């Protein structure tokens, strides 16, 4: 079973969920806002992707951080702390299967290849 991690009001997450539903791909939705995220999950992801790809630096949550706060995010530990405190800063969506990231973000052609 796939798990899609994100927040429900994110447009990219909405596109991914719609695509999965329209293509009859079963998945569970993990809502960061309601369910949060734990350090163990983030640390597992960081064995697969660098923190620089998991932190969405183009998003509003990151851009609203002070220069000092941004400068303090410079390794796995500081990135993990940020992602736990501000789940909206995590790249969305993350699609996971059996503990492995299978997709980061949403690209229709990539989903077509992965899930068809």
Q: Which residues are catalytic?
A: 10
Tokens found for residue 16: 């991914």
d(CA 82, CA 95): 20
Specify the 3-state DSSP secondary structure of 63: helix
Establish how many alpha carbons lie within 13 A of residue 27's alpha carbon, considering only the half-sphere containing its beta carbon.
26
Residue pair 25/37 in contact by the 8 Å Cβ criterion: no
């Amino acid at each position: 079973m796939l798990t899609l991690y994100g927040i429900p009001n994110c447009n990219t997450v909405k596109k991914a969920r719609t695509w999965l539903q329209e293509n009859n791909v079963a998945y569970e939705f993990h809502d960061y806002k309601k369910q949060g995220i734990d350090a163990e999950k983030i640390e597992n992801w960081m064995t697969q992707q660098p923190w620089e790809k998991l932190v969405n630096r183009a998003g509003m949550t990151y851009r609203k951080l002070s220069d000092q706060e941004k400068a303090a995010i410079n390794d796995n530990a500081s990135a993990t702390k940020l992602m736990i405190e501000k789940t909206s800063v995590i790249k969305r969506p993350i699609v996971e299967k059996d503990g492995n990231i299978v997709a980061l973000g949403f690209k229709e052609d990539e989903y077509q290849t992965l899930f068809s």
